[in-house]
Structure formats: C-alpha cells, structure tokens
Amino acid sequence: MTTPPTPGLSGVPSRAPASAPASSDSRTATFRVWRGDATGGAFHDYPTETSTGMVVLDAIHQIQADQANDLAVRWNCKAGKCGSCSAEINGKPRLMCMTRLSDLSLDAPVTVEPMRAFPLVKDLVTDLSWNYRVKKQITKFTPRPPDAPDGTWRIQQADVDRVQEFRKCIECYLCQDVCHVIREHHEQDTFIGPRFFVYAAALEMHPLDIADRIPALKREHGIGFCNITKCCTSVCPENITITDNAIIPLKERVVDEFYDPLGKLVKLFSRAHRG
C-alpha cells in the first residue's frame, strides 16, 4: 500500500467554538488532498473559496461538490461527536469538522490526508475494523451481585466521577493514529492502543465491576509498550487525560498485581469480598 508522507505530529487540536461570527470575508485557499487507494495515490491541489466560520470539512465538501465528486470522505455529525471525520491536517491528527480555517494559515496549501496508522480504503477514508476487533478482546462489564434485595446497587458519587471522563470518548481513533507503537512499530497484534486503555480503565475503575483485566493488559494487550510519551493525550478532541488518568493507573495496577505479592493478596481479598 502506498501511504502519504509523514509530516510532524506536534500540536494539540482545539475544540472550535460552537458558533462562528457571520462574515462575508472570503478568499481562495488551496487544499492539498490525498487521493488514492490501497494501490497508491498522490496529493492533488484544489483551490476553493473560503469564508469566515468554515471548518476543513466544509472545504472538503465544497471540493467534493464542485471539483471532485468522487472524493471519498467519512463524516456524520459535523459537531465533533461521531468521531467519523478523523484525518491528518497539516500533519496533525484532528477532526475535520472541528478544525476552523481561521486556526490555519491559508497562505500555503492546507494538507488533508487520511490517518496513516490504518489501511487506506480510498482518499480520506481508512479501514478502522482492527479497532472493533480489539474492543471485542477486552472483558466486558462484569457487575457484582446487587447490594439490595430489589436488585439495586449502592455506589459513591466520587467513584462514578472518576470514570466519567473516560466515557466522553467518541472513538475517533486519533489517539491510535498518533501512537508510535501502532503508527511506526505496527504492533497491532500485541498492543491495543490508547483508546482501549481508556476503555479498559473505565471498566477496571468502575465501582461495580469485579472482572480482572490486569493480566490481559500485561500479557496480551501490551501495556508495557507504552512509554508514556503523551502524544495520545495531546490529540484527543475530548481532552481525555489518557496517559495520566487511564494508562498510568493501569500500569500501576500491573505492578501491584505482578510485582507486589502483598498488594496482590489485598486485591484478591478485596475482589472476593465485593463478589
């Protein structure tokens, strides 16, 4: 498969404001869009009119309507919530619908290319199916028996709050795209990636859950490959603190379970007591 070149990956995507001021300002800007499929491709330049308030996805739609009807692009909500329009804009993994043209320099062509970490389908669309297969490998939510005869549970609000952040994930997979373990080292068979460390953390830290995913995280899911570079955190459009709040606590649990016999005993006792 021919893939586009890798520009720099620094920078944090910012959530665009909900509404933009109306303006008649307009100018022509060039969008350098990757066109091709798994057999190969190249960047094509598309000059198009832009105006204040437009996002990159607007420009792509305009190009699709006026100049390249067969341009493949995946999107759905145009509101930063479906996670469909992930791409690399000027080399940075971002949502096209949340990247305002006003945040980019239009003096040079704006490059728009598919996420590099996943196989290319066509143009800006990649095959994300590996992510769905990975998710199935993670032990599902396993609640303890109800606390009361009416089938209800009692949990602390603080414990609920702790996992709330993880549930904001829109599965855009920008974090998977930027992670060097997947992107550069192609460890897809042995590493589940930051999105699924967030998913596993949400389950492991859930106040009702009694499953133990720590052995799998160590042995099959490759958490040891993560060297805490925080690139994943820096691109997350939901501002989830992936590394500090999900990955590092999971790594600590691996250490407790495998390298601290006393901690392991306490954990086993605690799980037995809850179950």
Q: Which residues bind ligand SF4 (CB under 6 A)?
A: 169-175, 178-179, 181, 194-195, 198, 226-232, 235-238, 240, 242-243, 247
Q: Round to whole Å and give the CA distance between 102 and 115.
A: 22
Task: Please say whether the beta carbons of 145 and 275 come within 8 A.
Answer: yes
194 binds, among ligand SF4, ligand FES, none (CB under 5 to 8 A by kind): ligand SF4
Q: Which is nearer to ligand FES, 175 or 214 (CB)?
A: 175
174 binds, among ligand FES, ligand SF4, none (CB under 5 to 8 A by kind): ligand SF4
Least Å distance, CB 98 to ligand FES, is: 6
Q: Which is nearer to ligand FES, 71 or 181 (CB)?
A: 71
Least Å distance, CB 82 to ligand FES, is: 3
Torsion of CA 128, 133, 135, 140, to 10 degrees: 150
Q: Round to whole Å and give the CA distance between 180 and 163.
A: 26
CA 223 to chain centre: 17
232 binds, among ligand FES, ligand SF4, none (CB under 5 to 8 A by kind): ligand SF4
Q: Which is nearer to ligand SF4, 29 or 98 (CB)?
A: 98
Q: Which of 14, 46, 15 is nearest to 30 (CA)?
A: 46
Q: Which is nearer to ligand FES, 84 or 90 (CB)?
A: 84
Least Å distance, CB 178 to ligand SF4, is: 6
Q: Rounded to the nearest 10 degrees, what angle do helices 194-204 and 248-259 cross at?
A: 70
Least Å distance, CB 192 to ligand FES, is: 22
Give the max Cα distance, the chain: 68
Q: Which is nearer to ligand FES, 97 or 128 (CB)?
A: 97
**Phi and psi angles of residue 142, each rounded to the nearest 5 degrees, phi first:** -130, 90
Binding site for ligand FES (CB under 6 A): 75-78, 80-85, 95, 97
**How many C-alpha atoms does 122 have within 13 Å on its Cβ side?**
5
Q: Tokens 């549930």, residue?
A: 167
Query: What type of residue sits at position 152?
Result: T
H/E element, 266? helix 261-274
**Phi and psi angles of residue 113, each rounded to the nearest 5 degrees, phi first:** -140, 160
95 binds, among ligand FES, ligand SF4, none (CB under 5 to 8 A by kind): ligand FES
Q: Which is nearer to ligand SF4, 71 or 172 (CB)?
A: 172
198 binds, among ligand FES, ligand SF4, none (CB under 5 to 8 A by kind): ligand SF4
78 binds, among ligand FES, ligand SF4, none (CB under 5 to 8 A by kind): ligand FES
